[in-house]
Structure 1
Amino acid sequence: MRPCLSLLLAYGVLAGCASPPSDPNGTWINRAAIEAASEHGSLREALLAYGPNLEWQIDGQRQQASFSNGFELGEGQLVGEDLGRFRIDFYGDYHEYLSLDGDELAQQASGVWPEQRFVRADSVAPADAPPGSAFEQALYRSYLGGTWTIRQGQGEGGLVLFHSDGQVQGLPGAERYALCLAGDCAAMSGEHDSLWLQLGEQGQAWLFEHDGPQLSIFEALNRAPFDEMPDYQKGAQRWLLERRSQ
């Protein structure tokens, strides 16, 4: 009897290990886009390659799911279909399909975009944080984290810290920053990466290039007529920052 019981228990353990996870609750972020941007430098290219969706928030108890692409928020109703597979119903008879694959959440490919994969966020953003904040904070930590030295430009020799909550220390004339992820700012910047620097109530757009341990920040020159959407082109370099070894 005891050997049989042991076999049954062993079978149960193995079966439990083999069973796919079925709880999608929580916040999921597009880690592949973050890793690609951090490794290769171009944020725009990373988002185009692995996006457009950057974050999913799933609340099974309320049967709600929402995604953020850095510009838009899509909110839908969560419907479970099979074990580990879910349908999200949006307004206008529009659907997305999600499935759990190991420790990843996969968004099924569609006629609009390819398959996208997400991992659980390491930390949860505050309840009052805007949608997409978990992805944004993870991106800021990986992409701009660490200590930077101003090699050229105002404040040369000083240290700069980009915090994950959007604060920046040590960069003359700025106390807040935001990376452009999508939307109008991306349309205005064209092929360039852009960020917003702000001091008090005043702020402006800048273009940048992230190349390994170096970050070059350029003036954003508007080539469009005054009555049209801005069309930013790279102007003079204002700062060259170099990141210390992490």
Structure 2
Amino acid sequence: MRKALVLSLLAVVLGGCASKPAHRDISGVWINQAAIDAAAHGGNLREALLAYGPNLEWDIDAKNATANYTNGFESVEGKLIPEDDGTWQVSFYGSSSTGLSLEGEELIQGETDAEPRQPFVRPRITAASDAPLGASFETALNSAYLGGQWRVTSGMGKGNQVTFLADGQVNGLPNTQNYVLCLAGDCASMSGEHDSLWLQQGEIGAAHIFVRNGPRLEIFQALDSAEPDDMPQFYPGKLEWSLEKL
């Protein structure tokens, strides 16, 4: 009788342990593909990012209990804490926290008072291991938003075929080797309602305003209306290039 009771209690304990959801390994990089897909329609870039953001990429290390994210202008470090129901809490320095869970192949960032529910997926191509947080998102965004072949229809180099590479290089645009799309932060504040990007040749670079309308891309000089000691406030100046997607 006593032996049967012990076995019965053991079964209850083991059954309780077995019923606790197991934690899958969520280590690695996750990107906000919904924001990328919205941008890929070829409209205003920052509107698409704001509509499906604000967070763009998570980098999680379950072994070391860290979970860091970027929203395009800052990187935030958090501590990853597994919950009994198979989900996770990410505690940030201070009092704030957010929940993470898996739904199929998506990592879901739970809704909070400050942020909406956001899904993330594994990137098809991950950045180098020493790349900064956000690099995988930027690579995927560059490919989706500006990938493919373009032709200069007006401006210097008219008739040139232009390729914006996913790694931030550009071929065929005169006097330009590299580009960086403005996602958020100071560059967004400086360009106000306009989309902007940075174009660089060697050590020389400058901000530009651009307008994307489906298969058409217009790039303008960025003129500054601010006082000399104030943060720049850019607005579109002379049209430098018009490009059309082939």
Which of structures 1 and 2 has the bigger CA Rg? Answer: 2
One-letter amino acid of the structure 2 residue matched with residue 120 of structure 1: R
> CA 1:147–1:93 in 2, change beyond 3 Å: closer, same or farther?
same
Matched with 1:7 is: none
- Within the alignment, does 1:41 sit opposite 2:43 as a pair? yes
Matched with 1:6 is: none
Could you list the per-position Cα deviations for residues 156-180 of structure 1 after superposition, in whole angstroms to 9, with x for gaps in the alignment?
A: 0001111111111111111010000
Mapped partners of 1:243, 1:95: distance in 2: 43
TM-score relative to the length of structure 1: 0.89
Mapped partners of 2:166, 2:160: distance in 1: 20
Matched with 1:32 is: 34
Shift of 1:148: 0.7
Identity between Structure 1 and Structure 2 (%): 53
Q: Which stretches in structure 2 are left out of the alignment for 5+ residues?
A: 1-20
TM-score relative to the length of structure 2: 0.89
For residues 174-185 of structure 1, what are the structure 2 equivalents within 5 Å? Answer: 174-185=176-187
Matched with 1:200 is: 202
Query: Does the CA contact (< 8 Å) of 1:166 and 1:177 recur in 2?
Result: yes
Mapped partners of 2:210, 2:98: distance in 1: 34
One-letter amino acid of the structure 1 residue matched with residue 172 of structure 2: G
Deviates more, 1:39-48 or 1:151-160: 39-48
> CA 1:239–1:60 in 2, change beyond 3 Å: closer, same or farther?
same
- Within the alignment, does 1:112 sit opposite 2:76 as a pair? no
Matched with 2:64 is: 62
Mapped partners of 1:162, 1:127: distance in 2: 23
Query: Does the CA contact (< 8 Å) of 2:42 and 2:215 recur in 1?
Result: no
Q: How many residues align?
A: 226
Matched with 1:153 is: 155
For residues 209-220 of structure 1, what are the structure 2 equivalents within 5 Å? Answer: 209-220=211-222
Shift of 1:83: 4.2
Could you list the per-position Cα deviations for residues 78-129 of structure 1 after superposition, in whole angstroms to 9, with x for gaps in the alignment?
A: 1110344110111112211111111111111112111111111112211111
Q: Which runs of 4+ in 1 moved over 4 A?
A: none
Shift of 1:21: 7.6
- Within the alignment, does 1:237 sit opposite 2:239 as a pair? yes
For residues 80-99 of structure 1, what are the structure 2 equivalents within 5 Å? Answer: 80-99=82-101
Matched with 2:229 is: 227
Shift of 1:77: 1.1
> CA 1:190–1:121 in 2, change beyond 3 Å: closer, same or farther?
same
> CA 1:232–1:204 in 2, change beyond 3 Å: closer, same or farther?
same
> CA 1:199–1:42 in 2, change beyond 3 Å: closer, same or farther?
same
Mapped partners of 1:62, 1:180: distance in 2: 32
Mapped partners of 1:83, 1:26: distance in 2: 21
Mapped partners of 1:78, 1:21: distance in 2: 12
> CA 1:21–1:149 in 2, change beyond 3 Å: closer, same or farther?
farther
> CA 1:125–1:83 in 2, change beyond 3 Å: closer, same or farther?
farther
One-letter amino acid of the structure 2 residue matched with residue 176 of structure 1: N
Q: Which stretches in structure 1 are left out of the alignment for 5+ residues?
A: 1-18
RMSD value, Cα: 1.4
Query: Does the CA contact (< 8 Å) of 1:224 and 1:231 recur in 2?
Result: yes
Mapped partners of 1:113, 1:93: distance in 2: 15
One-letter amino acid of the structure 2 residue matched with residue 199 of structure 1: Q
One-letter amino acid of the structure 1 residue matched with residue 157 of structure 2: G
> CA 1:150–1:40 in 2, change beyond 3 Å: closer, same or farther?
closer
